[in-house]
Amino acid sequence: MNQSRYPLLIDGEALQSAIDDPDILVVDLSRAPVYLQQHIPGAVNLEIGMLMAGQPPIMGLLPETSYLERLLGALGANANTHIVAYDEEANAKACRLLWTLDCLGHRNASLLDGGLQAWVADDRPISAEAPTITATDYRAHPVSEVMADKAFIQAELGGIQIVDARTPAEYEGVDKRAQRPGHIPGAINVEWTQAIDRSRQMRLRPFDELRQLYQDAGLDPSRETVVHCQTHQRSSHSYFVLKLLGFTHLRGYPGSWSDWGNDPDTPIETGPANRTS
């Protein structure tokens, strides 16, 4: 696949300049009512639930490749399409799409920094008109190395870095969202929202601040790293940020705590992080 002309993180100015590029497909992960009210001109809508499968109580699983191929084909994407993702909140939903694309071996993709909030705040053009979509025959080339499952984590526990992107209350076991609260032993809690600058319409914090955030947490970019939250939506954002920072062995854990915390046999810790600064 050809090297992309566009960066992994794209700002509004650059996207607006490239919006007429026929190789770009802008995908809006906002809720349908928001999309119908306002979206980037030409953007297609994809609600987050379409990207997740579930076997309750385990949610947030990666759907079958054949299903995802049909889904992306229905959006008009092909192997050479450069997909730019955004949503109306803090871009966690958009990042779940970007992680899914990594799983499918689709390398040409970007996140719109700040998503819809930054786009609107900058007074860029918006539309309420849904574009006409020409469906394609999308073919994936799955990459297993960007996904972790429970068996992988159990086998590698102690040798991998685990980033828990949930809130401290979830991590400590105070906020119970599964049969068993707490965290994976040795996991490092870096809540995903720490990477976001709310004063700049949900854009990411500057790179040097992001590097310092994860460095202070004790993370090594060269080590195998697994990220998770409750269903790997919030942690997809952390996955994207770590990828942006150059973490080279990075995996997302679909199912996340809804998988681990609902298994009676997985090891679990509770209480605050035991970390020295």
* Catalytic hit among 77, 111, 229, 242: 229
Contact 196, 223 (CB under 8 A): no
Task: Burial-class residue 200 by CB neighbours within 10 Å (0-12, 13-18, 19+).
Answer: middle
Residue matched to tokens 């984590």: 153
* Phi/psi of residue 249, nearest 5 degrees: -125, 85
Residue 113 contacts by C-beta under 8 Å, 6 or more apart in sequence?
Answer: 9, 10, 11, 12, 203, 204
Q: How far apart are CA 96 and CA 114, in angstroms?
A: 15
What does each C-alpha distance from 29 to 112, 143, 219 come to in angstroms? 12, 23, 30
Contact 170, 257 (CB under 8 A): yes
Contact 183, 268 (CB under 8 A): yes
103 catalytically annotated: no
Q: How far apart are CA 18 and CA 97, in angstroms?
A: 21
Contact 259, 150 (CB under 8 A): yes
Q: Active-site residue numbers?
A: 229
